Every structure is written in C-alpha cells, then in structure tokens.
Amino acid sequence: MKRAVRVGAGEGLVITANRLLDGAIVWLSADHTWQTAIQRAEVLVPEAVVERIEGVQSRAQADGVVGIYEIAVRPEVGGPVPVTMRERIRAFGPTVHPQFAYEQQEGAGA
C-alpha cells in the first residue's frame, strides 16, 4: 500500500504524472487538465487528494498520462514549489544543464 505523503504546516498537495508520449512531467490543474508548468497546478488539501486521483486515474489513458501521484508543495509568490529536491528537479528541470530548465510561463496541456 502506498505511503501517504507527509504534509507539513502551510503545505499543500499537487497531483503529477508523466505524459505517455514523451515522458514529460505534467501537473493537474483546477480545470482537471494536465499542464506542463507547475504554476498551473491546483493546490489541494490532503482530504481532497484521494478522490481527485481516483478520478484522473480512471481516464489516464484518454488523457495520455502515466504514473499519477501526489506531492507536497509550499505555496510561494510564483506558484507552488515542491518540498523535496526530487520533485523540485521534476518541476524545474535538471540542475546540471541550465538550457534544459523548464519554461515556467509556457503551460501547454498534455
């Protein structure tokens, strides 16, 4: 059984996945579409996550996404920022190639 994500004070959860076609990282927005910019992700309270994941899981094939799960974020001025280094790298790109950093203003859908 999957372990629940620990959420600290002032933190929320966002839902993420990889795009089936190219593996690109995507984030679930408030209108239930998958976006490539974490700024467009909807920040949820823990109580809302299970139901939301069940919903998107059921249409994952139609949406073209795989590996759906939730991560903890801190709300910041520019948008939610993942708590862990792993998820910050997923959100903003590898730290070793500045040219591969993700453009955060371009939020093309999945």
Partner 1 sequence: MTTAIGQYQYDQVDRDFLAARIEEFSEQVARRLDGSLTEDEFKPLRLMNGLYLQLHAYMLRVAVPYGTLNAAQVRAFADVARRYDRGYGHFTTRQNIQFNWIRLEDTPDILRLLADVDMHALQTSGNCIRNVTSDEFAGAAADELVDPRVHAEILRQWSTLHPEFTFLPRKFKIAISGSPNDRVAARFHDIGVIARPGDDGRVVFQIFVGGGLGRTPIVGQELYDSVPEERLLATLEAIIRVYNAHGRRDNIYKARIKILVQALGIAAYREEVEAELAQMDIARYRLSPEMVASIEARFAAPDLQVPAGAADILAEQRARDWVFDRWVRSNTHAHRSEGHIIAVVSLKTPGEIPGDVTADQLDRLAGLSERFAYGELRTTHLQNVVFGHVRQDQLYDLWRGLVEVGLGAPNVGLIGDIVACPGLDYCALANARSIPIAQKLGARFADMTLQEQIGALQINISGCINACGHHHAGHIGLLGVDKRGEEFFQMTLGGRADDQAAVGKILGPALPEDDTVDAIARIVDRYLQERSGKESFLETLKRVGEAPFKEAAYDTV
The contact set with partner 1 (CB under 8 A) reads 18, 20-25, 61-62, 66-67, 83-86, 89-90, 93-97, 100
| Helix-strand-coil split of the chain, %, nearest 5 | 30, 30, 40
| Cα maximum dimension of the chain | 38
- Of 97, 71, 106, the residue nearest 85 (C-alpha): 71
Q: Which helix (H) or strand (E) holds 68?
A: strand 65-76
- Of 67, 85, 83, 65, the residue nearest 75 (C-alpha): 83
